[in-house]
């Protein structure tokens, strides 16, 4: 990566601004999944060990009006981070002002402070998410000219807490997590060890048109699953019953199939049900067509076998999007089958592109079996699409 990293700058005695991704799920004030906090620890620990004074910024959820602030404070995150680090994390509950500034000035080498949810600044004119110049300059002024971006999950957004701060410091560098995310995903797509197989699931073709087009030019095969399967099937005149379909994307699906030149691999059967919820009948289809009054909610056993064969011998696999409604045990078999096929390949470099795919791997007990699980769904998608991420582009060149 041709950008400076946290190891390229002197940190001792410096107030170091750090963008992390602590956008964790909360229920009744309790963190239900702390993976993103854990993922940030290597960079935070390195800064503290080097004698830096770490000042952390993160968003949590979406905040559009005053009422949205309820349950969106980073206070529970400060507590969880303190427990993981084994040291106090200063938290003032403010995003700007004298109290915050005094708390930062009081930090000593090796100490840490977490700023309140950056999106609290969105209540008055979306200052965070619209990258208000004044806010970015103010936050940058809280440090000593060094900014570490370790939030891959927001790298595809130009916000005040990443791009805005970067524009107002001497050195904007990548943290270890951001560096690894770029290395794994970008290098897998741009310089893969072949055979390179991409697997794309999820519900909508529209979400992944650019990704499919880019990967068709990079990968040896692109396997399609999930709800978007049925838009591709209908585009070929195959009956899909009551399955999810994007009628306005049928022509695009036809174009993608035509330009794929055999690289696009579709399911050959489905697990169908007579309703999405409250169904009374589930069965495997005979072929790729869905029966009238039914809808496809997972790939079927023949597709699992077909995808297994297509993945045999793969040396690089990038996977984004589950094969079915994996949250329901009745429709997990396809996603589990594909994961089993990926992880059993000898010497495979296996990368999950965040979002629902990451949730599926973690929830179903496969997290440790993959080479890399991305922390950013949207950012991963844009990287797979070949787009330039603003949060990365704003970092200092080597």
Is 355 marked active-site?
Answer: yes
Token code pair at residue 85: 């680090």
| Binding-site residue positions for substrate | 21-23, 36, 59-62, 119, 157
Give the C-alpha separation, 352 to 184, whole Å. Answer: 10
Is 398 marked active-site?
Answer: no
Active-site hit among 355, 376, 377, 391: 355
Active-site hit among 84, 204, 369, 387: 204
Give the C-alpha separation, 199 to 320, whole Å. Answer: 6
Active-site hit among 96, 378, 386, 387: 378
Report the number of secondary-structure helices (H) and strands (E) in the chain.
14, 17
Active-site hit among 14, 19, 36, 249: 36
Neighbours of 290 (CB within 10 A): 24
Is 337 marked active-site?
Answer: no
| Binding-site residue positions for ATP | 208, 296, 327, 354-357
Q: Residue 295's Cα: distance from chain center in Å?
A: 28
Token code pair at residue 55: 């000042």
Is 194 marked active-site?
Answer: no
| Binding-site residue positions | 21-23, 36, 59-62, 119, 157, 208, 296, 327, 354-357
Residues 42/171, Cβ–Cβ less than 8 Å:
no
Give the C-alpha separation, 147 to 70, whole Å. Answer: 29
Q: Match 């200063």 to its residue by tokens.
A: 90
Burial 247-275 (b: 16+ CB within 10 A, else e): eebbebbeebbeebeebbbbbbbbbbbbe
| Binding-site residue positions for (2R)-3-phosphoglycerate | 36, 119, 157
Instruction: Provide the annotated active-site residues.
Output: 36, 204, 355, 378
């Amino acid at each position: 990566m041709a950008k400076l990293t946290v190891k390229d700058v002197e940190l001792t005695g410096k107030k170091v601004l750090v963008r992390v991704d602590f956008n964790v799920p909360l229920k009744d004030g309790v963190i239900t999944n702390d993976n993103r906090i854990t993922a940030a620890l290597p960079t935070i620990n390195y800064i503290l060990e080097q004698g830096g004074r770490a000042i952390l910024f993160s968003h949590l959820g979406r905040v559009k009006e005053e009422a949205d602030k309820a349950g969106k404070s980073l206070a529970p995150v400060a507590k969880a981070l303190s427990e993981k680090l084994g040291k106090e994390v200063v938290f003032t509950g403010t995003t700007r002002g004298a109290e915050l500034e005094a708390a930062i000035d009081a930090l000593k080498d090796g100490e840490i402070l977490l700023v309140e949810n950056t999106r609290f600044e969105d209540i008055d004119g979306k200052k965070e998410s619209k990258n208000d110049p004044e806010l970015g300059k103010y936050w940058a002024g809280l440090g000593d000219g060094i900014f570490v971006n370790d939030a891959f999950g927001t790298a595809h957004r130009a916000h005040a807490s990443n791009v805005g701060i970067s524009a107002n410091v001497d050195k904007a560098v990548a943290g270890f997590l951001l560096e690894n995310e770029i290395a794994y995903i970008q290098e897998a797509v741009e310089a893969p060890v072949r055979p390179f197989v991409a697997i794309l699931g999820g519900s909508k073709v529209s979400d992944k048109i650019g990704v499919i087009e880019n990967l068709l030019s990079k990968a040896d095969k692109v396997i399609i699953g999930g709800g978007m399967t049925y838009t591709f099937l209908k585009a070929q005149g195959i009956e899909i019953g009551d399955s999810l379909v994007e009628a306005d994307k049928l022509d695009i699906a036809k174009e993608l199939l035509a330009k794929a030149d055999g690289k696009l691999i579709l399911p050959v059967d489905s697990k169908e049900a007579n309703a999405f919820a409250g169904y009374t009948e589930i069965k495997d289809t005979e072929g790729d067509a869905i029966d009238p009054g039914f809808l496809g909610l997972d790939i079927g056993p023949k597709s699992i076998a077909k995808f297994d064969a297509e993945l045999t011998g793969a040396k690089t696999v990038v996977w984004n999007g589950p094969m079915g409604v994996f949250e329901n045990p009745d429709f997990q078999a396809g996603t589990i089958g594909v994961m089993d096929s990926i992880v059993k390949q000898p010497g495979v470099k296996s990368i999950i592109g965040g979002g629902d795919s990451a949730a599926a791997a973690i929830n179903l007990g496969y997290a440790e079996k993959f080479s890399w699980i991305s922390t950013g769904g949207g950012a991963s998608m844009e990287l797979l699409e070949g787009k330039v991420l603003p949060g990365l582009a704003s970092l200092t060149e080597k």
